[in-house]
Structure 1
Amino acid sequence: MAQDETPMIRLRGVTKRYGEGATAFLALKGVDLDIGRGEFVAIMGPSGSGKSTAMNTLGCLDRPTGGQYLFLGAHVESLSRDERARLRRRYFGFVFQGFNLLARTSAQENVELPLLYRGEPAARRHAAAARALDAVGLKGWEHHTPAELSGGQQQRVAIARAIVTEPAVLLADEPTGNLDTQRSHEIMDLLARLNSEQGITVLMVTHEPDMAAYAHRIVRFVDGLVASDERNASPTQPGSRTAAQQQGAG
């Protein structure tokens, strides 16, 4: 991010406390973090480090206890629950470790859900879901249920559902945690392409260094604080691992 460019996301002294009195737990202890439009940032750290709390705060799922969270210049920490919900629906898409797909519902219908909640007409929902499924490489799989899809395909449906609203920011919490190595790299290739080709800002929590290697920046949390924030000089490029495997096979 250029120094004169205002960051899309800015955290200043952000804290998050759970509970009260003697049982209170401070999950975030004064986090400062800037994220520019179009970045791909991996958030890492040991269990209990605050990385998931930070992700929930960034995605407007949790409200900070203290400090400032500015998104496109707006003070998120001062918004009501309904205002944060509107902000989420307009700007954010979410991908989780568990695919969270409706079991008896087709891929097309799963992807359409966010648009259904928005009250979009059926024709517009169908067209947008078809585009999203095509973007994640699942054209032709629209009418398959999750039981008829592999784990990697189910995560692609989940990603299509996250991007069908054309979000500015995609938040991915351990998106490869339930996948084998090959499928994990396929999903990372997809996230990297969405970032580079569509300009979606990607924020990803992961504990796997080879997944974090796709990101432009790697932010490490320890004990509720940012312990390091380093730029990745050579991010893994989409398709590079597959090409290397093919060369090795040859």
Structure 2
Amino acid sequence: MAADAEAIIALRGVTKVYGSGPTAFQALKGVDLDIARGDFVAVMGPSGSGKSTTMNILGCLDVPSDGSFRFKRVAVETLDRDQRALLRRRYLGFVFQGFNLLSRTTALENVELPLLYRGEDKRTRHRLGMAALEKVGLDKWWDHTPAELSGGQQQRVAIARAIVTNPDVLLADEPTGNLDSERSIEIMELLTTLNRESGITVLMVTHEGDMAAYARTVVHFKDGLVERIDANHAPGKPVEAAP
């Protein structure tokens, strides 16, 4: 991560314990991590390393057991559930491996969902939804349902839904996990374009070294801690995949 860039996310000594007593499991053991505004970050690590727990905390879907989590200098650990939900709606976008599209609604209606939750009127939802679909190259497919779209197109709709609210941070959990190699490259090139042209900070969990190669920063997790950070990674340079 660039030393002179402002950190949009800062974790200090973050721990996460599930359960209590002799059955307690410590998923995170004191994570320190800065994410610079506008960076493209790949998060890697073997199963059980803590990367998914960290992403859940960054997405305000979970809270640390201890430590500090600051988002745009706000101490997120001090927010209540409603305040964290508001932060998610206003500043974060999510892309999942399984697309998570509503099967009986059109691409446009899927993309409009976050705007509906924000109380936007129909005209505004349509305008912003179509603009988001245009960014991912699917504006001409706006009236197609997921069943009428390929896997790559479905993931593009999911990305359009994630960016329709103009988030500061896009959290992508294995976004190419259900795609073939050609479609995976298309999605990674799309994420790269959104990062560079729209300035969206991208955090992506992946097990695939060739997908992590698109990032500018690669964070390696192991045993509940950040093992190392490869800053200023040259996009395209091979990344060793997690075992």
Does structure 1 residue 193 correspond to structure 2 residue 204? no
Distance 2:95 2:175 in 1: 6
Superposition deviation, residue 71 in structure 1: 0.7
Contact 2:8/2:72, CA 8 A, preserved across alignment: yes
Q: Which residue pairs with 2:129 in the alignment?
A: 129
Distance 1:97 1:56 in 2: 15
Superposition deviation, residue 232 in structure 1: 4.5
Superposition deviation, residue 233 in structure 1: 3.5
Distance 2:5 2:213 in 1: 25
Q: Which residue pairs with 2:96 in the alignment?
A: 96
**Correspondences of 1:133-212 after superposition (within 5 Å):** 133-212=133-212
Distance 1:103 1:59 in 2: 25
Distance 2:153 2:19 in 1: 39
What secondary structure does 1:17 align onto?
strand
Distance 2:6 2:174 in 1: 28
Q: Which residue pairs with 1:225 in the alignment?
A: 225
Superposition deviation, residue 2 in structure 1: 4.8
The sequence identity of aligned pairs, in percent, is 69
The gaps in structure 1 that reach 5 residues or longer are 238-250
Contact 1:49/1:225, CA 8 A, preserved across alignment: yes
Report the number of matched residues.
237
Partner AA of 1:99 in structure 2:
F
Q: Which residue pairs with 1:105 in the alignment?
A: 105
Distance 2:118 2:11 in 1: 29
Distance 1:6 1:160 in 2: 26
Superposition deviation, residue 22 in structure 1: 1.2
Superposition deviation, residue 150 in structure 1: 0.2
Contact 1:213/1:232, CA 8 A, preserved across alignment: no
Across the aligned residues of Structure 1 and Structure 2, the Cα RMSD in angstroms comes to 1.2
Partner AA of 1:118 in structure 2:
R
1:208 to 1:232, Cα distance in 2 relative to 1, 3 A = farther
Superposition deviation, residue 6 in structure 1: 3.8
Contact 2:97/2:177, CA 8 A, preserved across alignment: yes
Show CA shifts across 1:81-136 (max 9, x none).
11100011110000000110000100000000000011100000000000000000
Distance 2:103 2:188 in 1: 24
Q: Which residue pairs with 1:243 in the alignment?
A: none
Superposition deviation, residue 3 in structure 1: 3.4
What secondary structure does 2:3 align onto?
coil
Runs of 4+ in 1 over 4 A off after TM superposition: none
The gaps in structure 2 that reach 5 residues or longer are 238-243
Contact 1:30/1:225, CA 8 A, preserved across alignment: yes
1:5 to 1:181, Cα distance in 2 relative to 1, 3 A = closer
With structure 1 as the length reference, what TM-score do the two structures score?
Answer: 0.93
What secondary structure does 1:214 align onto?
coil
